[in-house]
Structure 1
């Protein structure tokens, strides 16, 4: 174990050669390997609903699954899927349980391929698909490859966000989407164009959809109902500042497209993260025309998608609780924590800062109890001619030798975290 201060201790990591791996393999938990496994630059990470599995996609076009031990004291490589094309989106089943093969499912969207469903309970390779969902546009016979995927609360359907379109699929019907609606039409004053890059559903069933063009749209009935409203983010294409001071402030809040959306446990507030932005925007859905506040100094000015999590210790017991925290990673290897930002206004500095490494923190995930923090990181460095032999220990050269990349998944114990 490695004590890194601030009541946080690193207890497991893909950086280390796992102890007890052979024993785990004998129990059917992990794969037996003879040497440490290289982890590529992580691009997306997700913690399963039961808190037992970590799913990642990386620069090397691989989806990987890691198992946390019962006491969260060890991390085992479980399975992987090497894809021929880049992975654009990944999500896990909302009732995921490692012990139940019927629920240990993940969805993948890769460039130039159908959406695929995989069972990760099998050993080592999860290459075989349970199902491949048709996402061909019937009008022009081109693939509509999703940049975002999300299961609905029932677990029987899922949403896929692509260019100007959100599609709803039945998990048991691979022939075509059950329904689909365009985010832009001539007759819809609230319409907007762009790739739907982020999806999130509130406890009240409101679907939020964000785009690379910096719009956020809200829809009733988990996307099956009517459009509620659409907003353009500060400095966006249709944003109208009230005066010159607002315009200067909005420019400071401007990002380069929505990378993640997440609701508060009560479903009243929504947080918006963008690429190339140091802030997390906070809106109250009762008045979406004005931002309530913004969590600033995140240190996230990068084209990488740096994830965040809204966490509440009482969310599992009381979905109406307002108390919550926001945990977000930065490019400096830090995770910053804002406590109850919905109770304040304006620009909010982090209440706490925790160092989890040296590389950009792509995924920041807490378990339900708040006793365990999982941080996934990824780094890409350009390599210029003549520098191929430099930087040993800082990652692996890509196939073309132009990029040196590395990644990691680290697990930390948290002491004294309160909701």
Structure 2
């Protein structure tokens, strides 16, 4: 009885105000029209707010970026839930690893609607989300006729190459903080600082995370070895350093490093997190069962800048470090339920008021479509259970991001389903159908080809203190 009451209470805390619906079932969507025959429909991989809170940018598994402008009456209960459709779509020729919107993004000012993208075998490129249409012809009076179709082409590019070669490096993580004069790109064993105004030029600064890649032990045990998968700027970064002060970097090899770009990128500290994860099995609520992990996917600073959250793939929790004592684990957030997937599952933070007991909140999705919220983080040591949750999707929630105002939450979901054994994929719809006469042929295919789409959607929620008459859908 108590569990059902808790579930009802969680549902009444949020209200669905906008949704794209399940995009894997939408045959007439722009994304489905761009599909090649025999290719499955893509799913949402990540979502993030622009700086002004008016637009949501998403990346998809089918190599495209979508922009969703939220309606002005988003929170009007009489018109909810709204149907979300992308106002702009940028198809990419190669898969993108990272997407960074400009920290000065203002929807009303077209020249600020910029995004940085890094794709495989290409330089880092800057796009305008809504580029002005170019004139195509002129009539007898000399007036130009414009082509209303938007053609997205890179406005600037920044070559990121190996030293003494012409091989492009793909940025595996990128950071573009305010006031946006510089940005940082990262790849294996390397951090690079670029000047946004110097288009076509190489990095101003290169920082190796290990002394040498030619050493027999790849750095001789010094520094942080591995591909850098995430970057996060400290909240108190100084504007004198172009918005780049202390930066937290994480690697697939389960290391975390702090680099001070106000001091030419000096390494302040670096430590491995494997031993900390092992301690969660010793001190957890369930003896012998830790949170696990297989490579850092996100580093996130607390709003106050005292704590650093470290999230891994295939992990059942999130580590919380007190950076005032470098490398010392304060505690961990339990029951994130992401141990069965290699997907990136993002989290977000928001400051809690004094009335809520201090600390800060952490919001994160799980592989079963549930969104969980931890409250008063930073106020206790050891294991920390979620305060409440709600079921928002039917597949992995890749991103959970809060609007700057704190009362609106965006979540996106999507995943491949590899449990398809005696089914084949319908090349026209991306759905699966039974293989009555061709089961043997289907079974000859590799496991990664015997897959289907799970539910994939982008949803907008608002915190609702009402009577909860509209449940989460």
Counterpart of 2:11 in 1: which secondary structure?
coil
Q: d(CA) in 1 for partners of 2:283 and 2:17?
A: 46
- Equivalent positions of 1:19-418 (< 5 A) are 35-37=28-30, 38=32, 40-73=42-75, 74=82, 75-122=84-131, 125=150, 127-173=152-198, 174-185=200-211, 191-205=223-237, 206-221=246-261, 224-235=264-275, 245=282, 252-301=290-339, 302-312=341-351, 323-382=359-418, 384=420, 386-388=422-424, 402-405=450-453, 406-416=455-465
CA gap of 1:148–1:322, structure 2 versus 1, over 3 A, is farther
Equivalent pair of 2:10/2:388 in contact (CA under 8 Å): no
Equivalent pair of 1:273/1:279 in contact (CA under 8 Å): yes
Q: d(CA) in 2 for partners of 1:403 and 1:194?
A: 31
Q: d(CA) in 1 for partners of 2:177 and 2:462?
A: 31
Q: Which has the larger radius of gyration?
A: 2
C-alpha deviation, 1:130, in angstroms: 0.9
Q: Give the TM-score of the pair, scaled to structure 2.
A: 0.74
Q: d(CA) in 2 for partners of 1:244 and 1:374?
A: 32
Equivalent pair of 2:128/2:152 in contact (CA under 8 Å): no
Higher RCO (CA-CA < 8 Å; seq separation 6+)? 2
Deviations 1:186-231 (A, max 9, x none): 6897511111100000123210000111111001236734211011
Structure 2 unpaired stretches of 5+: 1-8, 33-40, 76-81, 133-148, 213-218, 238-245, 434-447, 467-473
Q: Give the TM-score of the pair, scaled to structure 1.
A: 0.84
C-alpha deviation, 1:76, in angstroms: 3.5
CA gap of 1:312–1:60, structure 2 versus 1, over 3 A, is same
Structure 1 unpaired stretches of 5+: 18-32, 316-320
Aligned match of 2:441: none
C-alpha deviation, 1:153, in angstroms: 2.6
Higher helix share: 2
C-alpha deviation, 1:330, in angstroms: 0.3
Q: d(CA) in 1 for partners of 2:332 and 2:295?
A: 16
Equivalent pair of 2:348/2:364 in contact (CA under 8 Å): yes
Q: d(CA) in 2 for partners of 1:402 and 1:224?
A: 49
The two structures, once aligned, show a CA RMSD in angstroms of: 3.4
Length, aligned pairs only = 390
C-alpha deviation, 1:177, in angstroms: 0.7
Equivalent pair of 2:169/2:187 in contact (CA under 8 Å): yes
Q: d(CA) in 2 for partners of 1:265 and 1:394?
A: 42
